[in-house]
Structure 1
Amino acid sequence: MEKIEQKFLTGERALFQAHDMKIIDTIFADGESPLKHASDIELEGCMFKWKYPLWYGKNIAVKNCTWFEMARAGVWYTDNVSVEDSVIEAPKNFRRCRNVRIVNADFPNAAETFWSCDGAVFENVRAKGDYFAMNSRNMKIDNFILVGNYPFDGAQNIEINNSKLISKDALWNAENIVVRNSFISGEYLGWNSKNLTFENCTIESLQGMCYIDNIVMKNCKLINTTLAFEYSSVDADITNTIDSVFNPSSGMIRAERIGKLIVEKDKVDPSKTKIICTEENQQSTNGDV
């Protein structure tokens, strides 16, 4: 394997079609697409300072590297990528990639990142930016912190564990999502989705969990969550009081108490939803379940 160490590379396509190469402590300065069509590359301690550094690549292993802000659209159409102990400041990163592993990484400007990727593993990842992971699928995520709106729109087959999402409109138009031991805060969680499961989660959401075909909640806590489950088929086991529930379409909701239960008989069939409260005195309007 050829080794390049402590170089300062400039110009477009500086290492075009590089292969079987280990690159150490090297700066990719001005010049687009320095590693376009690269394969079987190890990068350690490197810095990317300009656009499109890794496109159409295969078998790329990255450790302790930095993408600066202008290294935009950094990894596209690239398969079998691992990134460890790195900072990726540049937005619009990772598009249409397959088999990606990210461990101990920070994405301080993650706008429009991880779009349409297939097969990804995250461990100890932090990201800030809107529209994260749009239309991606087959992701396994553990210890992920995201601050940004509209994540996982259109995503499929996603597992999220031990994570925190501070996110308006998270998990819209999504399918086959499992979230465990996590915290989510943001309005309109999960709209227009199918097969969403939350286990041991704490959620705060105005009008959350609405318009969902099959939402399952196991041992979850809902805080400041109002007008929940509108037009959703639901099987929810909630360990505390739900502030308000609005027009669920079918299923079962179990909670300590529902502060306000609104069921409009001209909009939904009350007989299709069973409500079980361990405490009495919930208030209902326009129909009872």
Structure 2
Amino acid sequence: MREFENERFTGERAMFAVKDVKVTDCIFADGESPFKESHGIEAVNSSFQWKYPFWYSSDIKATDCTFFEMARAGIWYTKNITLENCLYEAPKGFRRCDGVTLKNVDLANASETLWFNRNVRLENVVAKGTYFAMGSENIYAENFRLLGDYSYDGCKNVEIHNAKMLTKDAFWNCENVVVYDSYICGEYFGWNAKNVKLVNCTIESLQGFCYMDNVVLENCKLLNTTLSFEYSTNIDAEVTTAIDSVKNPYDGSIRAKEIKELILEDAFVDKNKTTITTL
């Protein structure tokens, strides 16, 4: 493996198509696509300060690195990339990649980040930005924190543990989602999604859980949740708190400490298809 230490690189494609290279304490300054078409790269304590650092690459590991704001659209069409202990300030990162692992990573400007990827693992990741992870599939996240609306739109096969998410319109148009031991705050949770399960979660959501199919809540709290479950099917909800209002669920079972307002309109739903139980 060739090694480079304490060097500064400029100009377009500074290391185009290199293989089996390690860079330590290096700076990749102005110059697009420094590692385009590269394979078997290890970067340690290095900084990426310009656009498109890793495109069409594979087998990449970056540790203790910094991706500056101008490293925008930085990692696209790449396979098997791991970032550990990194600060990633650039937007539009990780597009159409396969095999993305982020450990102890701060995504400070995560707008339009992690789009259309496969096989993603997030461990102790903090992200701030809208439309996070749109269209991605096979995602596992643990100790995940997000501030940004419209997250996980159109995702498939998602498992999340111990998350805190402030996000409007989370999990729209999704399929096969399981969330454990998490807090989610935002309006319109989960519309048009199917096969969604929440376990030991706290959710605050105006008009949450509407137009969903096969939605399961186990031992969950619903705070400030109004007009919920509208036109949803196959509901199995166990809620340990009061629900402010439930409106026109199609069918299933809703068990809650209290339902402050129950709206069942004969013109739109058959009220006999939903079992409502309060403690």
TM bucket normalised to smaller:
over 0.9
1:40 equivalenced with 2:46 (yes/no): no
Deviation at 1:170, TM superposition (A): 0.5
Distance in 1, Cα, partners of 2:248 & 2:230: 5
Superposition TM-score, scaled by structure 2 size: 0.99
2:215 partner SS: strand
Classify the secondary structure of the residue corresponding to 2:208: coil
Asked if 1:262 is matched to 2:257, the reply is no
Which ranges in structure 2 are unaligned for 5 or more consecutive residues?
A: none
Task: Write the distance in 2 (CA, Å) between the matches of 1:46 and 1:95.
Answer: 22
Question: Structure 2 CA distance, aligned partners of 1:102 and 1:201?
Answer: 24
Letter in 1 for 2:238: D
**How do 1:1-289 and structure 2 match up within 5 A?**
1-233=1-233, 234-278=235-279
1: CA distance between counterparts of 2:257 and 2:71?
A: 51
Q: Deviations over 1:143-175 (max 9, x none)?
A: 000000000000000001100110000100000
For residues 92-132 of structure 1, the C-alpha deviation after alignment (integer angstroms, 9 at most, x for no partner) is 00000001110000011000000000001110000000000
Q: Which residue in 2 is equivalent to 1:284?
A: none
**Cα separation, 1, equivalents of 2:156 and 2:58:** 24
Q: Quick one: distance in 1 between partners of 2:91 and 2:177?
A: 25
Q: Residue type matched to 1:184 in 2?
A: I
The CA deviation at 1:26 is 0.5
TM-score norm. by structure 1 comes to 0.96
- Give the CA deviation at 1:181: 0.2
Other structure's SS at 2:272 match: helix
Structure 1 residue 18: Cα displacement: 1.1
**Partner amino acid for 1:28?**
F
Shift of 1:65: 0.4
Give the Cα–Cα distance (whole angstroms) in 2 for the partners of residues 139 and 18 of structure 1.
30
Q: Root-mean-square deviation (CA), in Å?
A: 0.4
Secondary structure of the equivalent of 1:30?
A: coil
Partners of 1:129 and 1:61 in 2: how far apart? 24
- Unpaired segments ≥5 residues, structure 1: 279-289
1:25-80 CA-partner distances (Å, limit 9, x unpaired): 10000000000001001000010000000000000011000000000000000000
Which amino acid is the alignment partner of residue 180 of structure 2? R
Q: Percent identity?
A: 54
